[in-house]
Every structure is written in structure tokens, then in C-alpha cells.
Structure 1
Amino acid sequence: MVVASSNPHNKEMQIRRRISNIFNKREEDFPSLKEYNDYLEEVEDMIFKLIEGIDVQAIEEKITNYQQENAEQIMINQARKAEDLAAAMAASKGLPVQADTDGSSQAGFVAGAQGQYAPTVAGGQPRPTGMAPQPVPLAGGLDMHGYALDDEEMMRLQAERGGRAGGWSIELSKKRALEEAFASIWI
């Protein structure tokens, strides 16, 4: 089936999309990198010939035969692609990512529900299912330094220390407020 289009770019994109949905094997489907590269080269040759209109009938027969012989593998790879896309969409929205049914890992880091990052297990090992592990709060309502979270004085002290660590001081704030107040009087 040759796609007819007035725009050559659209024609190429339609052919590439069609062929990539059929010839959708991944590197892990091959025993060696050389065999995978040979497969990719063969696919690109077919795409080029279809775009240029070279030996179209033979290429279409080859595609049909491949579809019939590898129908199950094509569907499995399309499902894997859809799962990867769904996982990428969920990760981009900060939603928890579900594990693949085969236990493979595709991502390096996955964004959790509250913006934390949970590393996934690489190298074909299974990754945890469900939500990424969340930090466990410390006992007694204490922060990471052991200060009580509900103590107002401690919260003020922490805010002041944080400000000083960033170069801010209460004196600087008072001086700026006075300068701005006096500057507005003379205008």
C-alpha cells in the first residue's frame, strides 16, 4: 500500500509511521547489536524504496509476509510501546508509574506523587510495583534536626537561621524599610 500525498514530507512521515508500527522490534529482541543494526538498516532501505517508488510491489509483499509471520510479536511490541508512553506521560505529570507486566525497567528516575524522585532498578531486574516509597515522618512531630514542628519559637528561630544562611538579617531589613520610607517623603 503506497500512501499518496501532495506533500513529500507528509508522504514520508506516513510511510515511516506505518513501517515503524509493523517493524517495531527493539535492541533487546536481538542477540547482538550487529543483528539489530542490520535490522534497522533493512527497515530504512524499505522506507527509502517506498518513498522513492522503487520496487514498491516487492516491498509491499515483504511487509505483508512479515506481518503474517510476526503478528503476535508486532502486537506485543505495540503494547510495550503503549505502556512506555503511558509511563512517560504519568511521570511527566508527577503520577506514580505502574510496573511493566514483564518486570522490565525503562526509566532511570520516576517522579513520585509529591515530587520526590524514586530510582527504578535498571538492568532488567524487576522494579517495585505501585507507589514509590515515601519518606517516613520522624516520631513525635520533629523535623529533620530534632526540633518540635509545632513550637512557634522554634519555627521563628529556624526561619531566622535560614534567612541568615542566605545572607539576610533583621538589621538589613529594618534599614531598607527606613530608607524606602524616608525616600518616599521627599518625592
Structure 2
Amino acid sequence: MVISSSNSHNKEIAIRKRIASIFNKREEDFPSLREYNDYLEEVEDMTFNLIEGFDVPAIEEKIARYQEENAEQIMINRARKAEELAAALAASKAHPAQNDADGAQNQSSQMGYSVGTQGQYAPTFAGGQPRPTGMAPQPIPLGGGPDMLGYATDDEEMMKLRAERGGRAGGWSAELSKRRALEEAFGSIWIF
């Protein structure tokens, strides 16, 4: 039996959403970038194995154990994300789009996102999310000014650091670039 591409894609999306809602730690939750990247790699390995159907019972057991051990942290991170999304939504409503003549704003909000005058992305909510109660005060997103993520206020050094971390997280290294350039150079030499 062959599973259609659409069903396979929907299965992958459902699995990724489920895993992301459970394994929702952020970089600031780890003492080093290396540990954070190891965490992300482990989560991606589990996700891939679930999608492909490899060792599913063992992975499900590992997920259940992680949920039990980290239930409070999972809820705190979910609440923090909900607060940030609500703040982004409020910010996007505070700065409505000026040019709505072509209906682009309406169409984008139907697709699940909205864009304010400064190009900020803010997911839209159909029914809203309830705020968890009985927990410690929720963190307020850092930064200010025109950009909710604080990038507009970063200095040059911080921007370089973010670019370097982003490259390393994506697997890029200077050595990799040099090796690829040499391979391409020597691969194009023809000997007759």
C-alpha cells in the first residue's frame, strides 16, 4: 500500500507539531550553545524516526518519560510562547496596515499570519488561548522599539555573534567552505 504524498506530509506536520510542543526549550535554557545544539539534534533524530516509523515504541516511551520529568518546564515554555504571541498580536493591532486597498492584509490573516506596517510577523488566533493560572509571573519579551525581537537595537558585535551562531547551528564552518571550494576546483580539472 502506497501512502499518498499529501497524507505523508500531513503526518510529518502533525508529528513535528506534537514534538515541538513537548520539546520546547530555548537556547537560553542551556549553559552553552553546544548543549543546545545537541538537544536540537536529539529532538530532530526522534522526529525523523517517528516520521519514518523507526523504533517507534522506544521513542514514544522516551517522550512519555521526558514529559513526566519536565512537565512544569514544558508548561512554563508554552505559557511564555503564548505570552509572546499575544504581545506580537497586540503590537500588530496597534500598528494596522495603511495600504489595505488590495485586500492583502485580509488574505494574509486568513492564512494564519498578519503583517504590520513595519513588517512584523504576528500569528493570528481564531479562538484565543487561555492563560495558565497558578504559575509564576510570565517573562516579558526583551527588546523594544520597532522590532519585537530586539534586533533593531543590537549593536554590530551582537549582530556578528548572531550570524556566527546561526551559521554554526546550520552546520556551516570555514573549513567546510574551504574543502568544498577545493573539491570543486579539482573536480573541474580535465586530464587528457
Distance change (3 Å), C-alpha of 1:55 and 1:90: same
- Give the structure 2 partner of residue 109 of structure 1: 145
- Give the structure 2 partner of residue 132 of structure 1: none
CA distance in 1, matches of 2:30, 2:153: 22
Local SS of the residue matching 2:48: helix
Local SS of the residue matching 1:67: helix
1:40-84 CA distance string (max 9 Å, x none): 000000000000000000000000000000000000000000001
- Where structure 1 has 5 or more consecutive residues not aligned to the other structure, the ranges are 112-118, 123-187
- Give the structure 2 partner of residue 185 of structure 1: none
Q: Using CA pairs below 8 Å that are at least 6 residues apart, which structure has the higher relative contact order?
A: 2
CA distance in 2, matches of 1:77, 1:103: 10
- Give the structure 2 partner of residue 20 of structure 1: 20
| Structure 2 length-normalised TM | 0.50
Contact 1:109 1:120 (8 Å CA) reproduced: yes
1:8 aligns with 2:44: no
CA distance in 1, matches of 2:36, 2:16: 18
Letter in 1 for 2:21: N
Distance change (3 Å), C-alpha of 1:27 and 1:89: same
- Where structure 2 has 5 or more consecutive residues not aligned to the other structure, the ranges are 96-135, 155-192
Q: How far 1:108 sits from its partner (Å)?
A: 3.9
Contact 1:46 1:59 (8 Å CA) reproduced: yes
- Give the structure 2 partner of residue 154 of structure 1: none
- Give the structure 2 partner of residue 176 of structure 1: none
Letter in 1 for 2:49: K
CA distance in 2, matches of 1:103, 1:22: 19
Q: Alpha carbon RMSD of aligned pairs, Å?
A: 2.9
Contact 2:15 2:51 (8 Å CA) reproduced: yes
Contact 1:24 1:78 (8 Å CA) reproduced: yes
Q: How far 1:110 sits from its partner (Å)?
A: 5.0
How many residues are paired up?
A: 107
| Structure 1 length-normalised TM | 0.51
Q: How does 1:76-87 map to 2 (within 5 A)?
A: 76-87=76-87
Distance change (3 Å), C-alpha of 1:103 and 1:76: closer
- Give the structure 2 partner of residue 35 of structure 1: 35
- Give the structure 1 partner of residue 165 of structure 2: none
Q: How far 1:25 sits from its partner (Å)?
A: 0.3
Q: How far 1:105 sits from its partner (Å)?
A: 3.1
CA distance in 1, matches of 2:48, 2:8: 12
Q: How far 1:102 sits from its partner (Å)?
A: 5.0
- Give the structure 2 partner of residue 175 of structure 1: none
Q: How does 1:160-171 map to 2 (within 5 A)?
A: none
1:49 aligns with 2:49: yes
Q: How far 1:103 sits from its partner (Å)?
A: 4.8
Q: State the structure with more CA Rg.
A: 1
